[in-house]
Amino acid sequence: MTAVVINAGPLMVFAKLNLLHLLKQLYGRVCFARAVYHEVVVVGMRHGYVDASTLHRFLQQEAWQPATVAAIPPSIQAASLDLGEQESIALAMMQQALLLIDEEAGRRVARNVGLSVRGSLGVLIDAYRRGLIDVDQLRFNFAEVERRTDIWISPSLCHRLLSETLGNDASR
């Protein structure tokens, strides 16, 4: 199985949608940087975010621990990214891993250093294609992403990807 590194955005999306189990089903285990853990779990719990507590419990249950990133390449440091994105890209580079990341600037930098990237919607599509969720669940989860004000993924992107995935069946 391919190594997978996940950034804060997809971790929060899957916690908010209560779909963290799909990450385990799809990838077995995902790695995440210490800065991502701090941003999503530590700071999130400090602010009382339910998804942060959900994620914390899931990570404890699965015994998934954050990875320490020893060094961030200068080219990644020079990009206008937050520390979590920088550490995620550096970790994915070290492990030659697929990077799960939603932020467009981070995706661009990751691709420029030769990484394969996938966003939250792409993970949902993979789950559908592998039979882990059915078409109704796929539509429901895309609609949830569009509806929620605490998930910052473009509704037009949701429509486009759902249409590309389901073709003529997307409007049903």
Query: Whole-model pTM?
Result: 0.94
Domain span at residue 159?
121-171
Q: Are residue 106 and residue 167 in the same domain, yes or no?
A: no
Q: What is the pLDDT along the chain (172 residues), one digit of tens a residue?
A: 679 999 999 999 999 999 999 999 999 999 999 999 999 999 999 999 999 999 999 999 999 999 999 999 999 999 989 999 999 999 999 999 999 999 999 999 999 999 999 999 999 999 999 999 999 999 999 999 999 999 999 999 999 999 999 986 655 5
Choose the final residue of a domain: 82, 102, 119.
Answer: 119
- Residue 34: phi and psi, rounded to 5, are -60, -40
Q: Is 3 exposed, middle or buried (0-12, 13-18, 19+ CB in 10 A)?
A: middle
* The two three-digit tokens of residue 164, written as one number: 């590309």
Look up the CATH number of the domain holding residue 31.
3.40.50.1010
